[in-house]
Amino acid sequence: MVCGVLALQGAWDAHRKILQDLGAEVRSVRTAAELGEVDCLVIPGGESTAMLRLMEPGRLRARLVERVSAGMAVLATCAGVILLAERVAPEQESLGLLAVAVERNAYGRQVYSTIDQVALAPRMGEPSLMEGVFIRAPRITSIGRKVAVLGRLRDEPVLVRQDRIIGATFHPELTADRRVHNLFLETAEEGHG
């Protein structure tokens, strides 16, 4: 199995290093052709509208929608959740693949970025809390029927799963806790082979 990391923007290299440390073969993805060479994909944080623009040349955006719709496992963090969301406020384009509504930069500007404790669902294992790094993070304001909440910041969902899509509004790649990346690899393996 080959994992891809969308390498257009954001802390994509941190995701790459973590996945390699966990034993995965990892490739950077910048084109539709490169997307065709991987079995699963991480969509890192960054700036969601800029990433959408960077995906347009060469049909990367269309190919990404096709692959995820066909069941490719995805881990989306921060702006990656905005890209996949069905609805975004303030209104902007998105790929509409994850049945959530999000509010961009909901916790405020960069100076209000924070590290806080995310309470995890029992299925994520012990300890029941993990450190969450929230940088201009989106807020999930509603979830669809098929979306399971795996982590909360106080009462708000910040880690969700819908089928083979995992979305974290925080940056798990910036902490030592590897449970989110392990879940992603397990999810990818479930449909591989």
Which active-site residues does the annotation give?
78, 171, 173
Q: C-alpha angle 35/100/77, rounded to 5°? A: 45
Q: How far apart are CA 36 and CA 55, in angstroms?
A: 14
Is 77:172 a contact under the CB 8 Å cutoff?
yes
Q: What is the largest CA-CA distance in the chain?
A: 45
CA Rg, the chain, in Å?
15
Q: How far apart are CA 141 and CA 175, in angstroms?
A: 25
CB atoms within 10 A of CB 186: 10
Q: How far apart are CA 42 and CA 118, in angstroms?
A: 20
In the three-class reduction of DSSP (H, G, I as helix; E, B as strand; rest coil), residue 81 is classed as helix
Token match 């509208």: residue? 49
Token match 């066909």: residue? 70
